[in-house]
């Protein structure tokens, strides 16, 4: 696990951006990232240019974030996902959608499961009405990208 607070503490800055030096396997030289506190990356994570990660973001092994990805505080993405979208904060949790091998997955601070399982898990819970609204957005994103989600 890479602790970005430690790794990036001596990187050159350009305004609010930290600029990646040469020689790193997980980000190209010159790429810019903006980091909150306590950001952790699993093995084999790859960050694009102009990525913004909020406080307490955890990325599992093999996650790929393309250029311009923004993940708010409390975001969690599990292993081997790509095409992440932060869809918002509701009912006390940040909610993200991404795909693993063409299947839509949902990440929250303490959960990482398929969109279908997320819908089943929260569907009958009256305290998760706003979460269900965000999951409707996740369904639309999955449909637009051709990700399985049933």
pLDDT band at 124 (very low <50, low <70, confident <90, very high): confident
Give the CA dihedral 33, 5, 60, 19, nearest 10 degrees: 20
Query: Is the pLDDT assigned to residue 86 strictly greater than 90?
Result: yes
pTM equals 0.88
Residue with the larger pLDDT of the pair 5 and 81: 81
């Amino acid at each position: 696990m890479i602790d970005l607070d430690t790794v990036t503490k001596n990187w050159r800055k350009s305004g609010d951006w930290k600029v990646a030096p040469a020689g790193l396997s997980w980000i190209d030289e010159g790429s810019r990232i903006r980091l909150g506190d306590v950001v952790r990356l699993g093995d084999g994570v790859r960050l694009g240019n102009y990525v913004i990660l909020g406080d307490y973001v955890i990325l599992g092994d093999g996650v790929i974030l393309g250029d311009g990805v923004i993940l708010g505080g409390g975001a969690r993405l599990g292993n081997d996902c790509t095409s992440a979208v932060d869809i918002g904060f509701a009912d006390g949790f940040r909610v993200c959608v991404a795909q693993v091998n063409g299947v839509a997955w949902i990440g929250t601070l303490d959960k990482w499961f398929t969109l279908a399982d997320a819908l089943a898990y929260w569907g009958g819970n009256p305290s998760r009405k706003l979460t269900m609204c965000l999951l409707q957005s996740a369904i639309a994103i999955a449909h637009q990208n051709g990700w399985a989600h049933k």
